Amino acid sequence: MNGGTWGVGSIVRCREREWVVIPSTREDVVMLRPLAGGEEETCGVSVELMRYGIDTITSADFPLPSPEQAGDAASVGLLFDAARLILRDGAGPFRSLGKISVRPRPYQFVPLLMALRLDPVRMLIADDVGVGKTIEAGVIARELIDRGEVRRLSVLCPPYLCEQWRKELAEKFHLDAVVVSSGTVSSLERRLPHGDHSVFGYFPYTVVSIDYAKSERHRHNFLANCPELVIVDEAHGAARPTGRSTAQQQRHALLREVAAREDRHLILLTATPHSGVEEGFLSLLGLLDPGFERLDVWRLRDRERDRLARHFVQRRRADVAVWLGEKTPFPERVSEEAHYELSPAYRKLFEGVYDFSRELVASGEKLTVWRRRIRYWTALALLRCVMSSPAAAVAAIGKRLEGLGLEAADSPEEEYLSTVYEAEDREPSDSQPSGIIEDGVEDLSGSEVRKLRAFAKQAQGLKGREDNKLEKCAALVEGLLREGFSPIVWCRYIATSDYVAAGLQARLEKGFPDLRVISVTGALSEEERKLKVEGLTSYPCRVLVATDCLSEGVNLQEGFDAVVHYDLPWNPNRLEQREGR
């Protein structure tokens, strides 16, 4: 009940007008919204004043239909639709539920309820992968639009997620957004009317590649036309960097300027808000409220904790599996470790590379700090490639020494952060770290270079039955296929992914004549990746071998239901991203 005998949703008459009773936070106040009015006309009536007759609330009476006032069917239909729409907007606490094509689960209303208590809305939604951050953010956006609080919306996300966001907004929330990126801007500009118009300002709903918006050429245009509501997906990629990452510095600077306008609504989405670097986490919180950046998150006072809790929500799948009595059937994660032993030939290669790597680091003690660091990175890169697969070892060592690889990276540190350390602020890199290795071996002696050539030759001879890792993977995948699963095999490098896909097809096609195995890597464009994955799902017996180019944002759960980590990522957050797909 609400402040007396009037239940929520009751239609009443007060002050010569019909109203709908809406939820009230006080027992002594009846909250009313006009039956044919807007949110801004909502008012409260004191129960105490009603006792003295100052205000009165009575049931609304509507005259019965009269045969003398018969109308036509079309007019009656219009009246019925109008009444239904008015009641839908006026009777409930949310305006958006009648205009979305998805039924949010009870726990997904929590961010919406939090948002409606904030002005402006400044939130960091850090729920687990698969909990539904896109739906939570979309419901908030739709609600703010339907309440008339915002007219324009932009989603900032990595370029490989733009098309997915456009489809989600259109199909689930009936928001017809356009993608703004280097590949679409020309066609969008042709749709602009004559005059001084900007793509960012003309279209009310946009999905913008954050890398396009952050560039010096487009940043000022975006900021000048930035809408009232901005949603940032994969926000961890825009945290303040601890190193010299120019790209991440530009992303963070862009969001700083977006957040600088105090009345702008800002929603940050990420499943991995804290990568272990506290400064980066605090920089994200600082976008919500500059005061949050000075918090000591390990020693929060109760007042600080309560203040932060109004803006920050983070839940694991286990936290929401049962919410308000409703169960959410998340897939149960069953993790198993599979062990294998190196073959004698592979062990000989590994031990040789390991000893070489130790000598490489130890022999650089008299070099400059920078050259010592490069040697350390080279040692790590060599070991990672050798333990990934013979194909990765050949691609990383052999081609570099033959001068057939890619050009060396402009910044060895940049390549190290993306290929060895797996920094989250960069799009996953699956190419072999050839630039690092070339920088590390350019001052080696002739005998050391000959050792590397011998390692590459050894690795070339390991392809096939000498690779127990591949044999073990084939046995695991065969077992999953026989149990009816459609697995994904995650690899670290392009060469490994292609090698594993070919090996699985050759080893399993006799037992599964209709088996289809494909490799999807960063060597393909975004559109090619999408088409290959969609094409694979049409095969009843299928295996997807992929690199981390598919580990973020792309939804794979419709076609695949088991995961094999051929190469374990060194960044645990990357592991969560893979399994959350």
pLDDT digits (tens, 9 = 90+) for 493-503: 999 999 999 99
3-state secondary structure of 299: coil
Please enumerate in sequence order all residues whose Cβ is within 8 A of that of 269, keeping only pairs 6 or more positions apart, or say none: 125, 126, 133, 134, 137, 231, 232, 233, 234, 235
Among 46-55, 372-381, 435-444, 548-557, which is the least confidently predicted range? Answer: 435-444
Tokens, residue 240: 């303040």
Element housing 138 (H / E): helix 133-146
Strands 29-34 and 17-22: antiparallel
How high is the pLDDT of residue 150? Answer: 93
Strand partners, 20: 11, 33
Tokens, residue 222: 């975006």
Closest-CA residue to 230 (of 250, 208, 249) = 208
Checking 71-78 for CB contacts under 8 A at 24+ apart, the result is none
Amino acid identity, position 409: A
381-408 pLDDT tens trace: 888 999 999 999 888 886 555 543 334 4
Q: What is the mean pLDDT of the chain?
A: 84
Q: Are 129 and 271 in contact (CB under 8 A)?
A: yes
- Sign of CA pseudo-dihedral 243, 246, 252, 253: positive
Which residues belong to CATH 3.40.50.300 in the chain? 468-580
Categorize the per-residue pLDDT at 423 as very low, low, confident or very high, splitting at 50, 70 and 90.
low
Average pLDDT for 91-110? 84
Please, what is the Cα angle at 139 between 256 and 259, to 5 degrees? 10
Percent with pLDDT over 90 in the chain:
40
Q: Please give the DSSP secondary-structure letter assigned to residue 267.
A: E
How far is CA 396 from each of CA 28, 352, 353, 386, 539, rounded to the nearest angstrom?
74, 16, 13, 9, 34
Closest-CA residue to 381 (of 362, 357, 408) = 357
How high is the pLDDT of residue 427? Answer: 53
Give the residue carrying structure tokens 């010569």: 16
Q: Are 112 and 143 in contact (CB under 8 A)?
A: yes
How high is the pLDDT of residue 565? Answer: 94
Which residues belong to CATH 3.40.50.10810 in the chain? 97-327
More confident residue, 152 or 275: 152
Closest-CA residue to 460 (of 369, 399, 530, 374) = 399
Alpha-carbon dihedral 10, 15, 17, 20, rounded to 10 degrees: -20
CATH of 468-580 given 1.10.760.10, 3.40.50.300, 3.40.1790.10, 3.40.50.720 = 3.40.50.300
Cα 385 from Cα 382, distance rounded (Å):
5
Strand partners, 206: 154, 178
Does the model's pTM come out above 0.85? no
What CATH fold (topology level) applies to the domain 97-327? Answer: Rossmann fold (3.40.50)
Q: Are 434 and 428 in contact (CB under 8 A)?
A: no
Categorize the per-residue pLDDT at 409 as very low, low, confident or very high, splitting at 50, 70 and 90.
very low
How high is the pLDDT of residue 487? Answer: 94
Percent with pLDDT over 70 in the chain:
86
Cα 4 from Cα 27, distance rounded (Å):
7
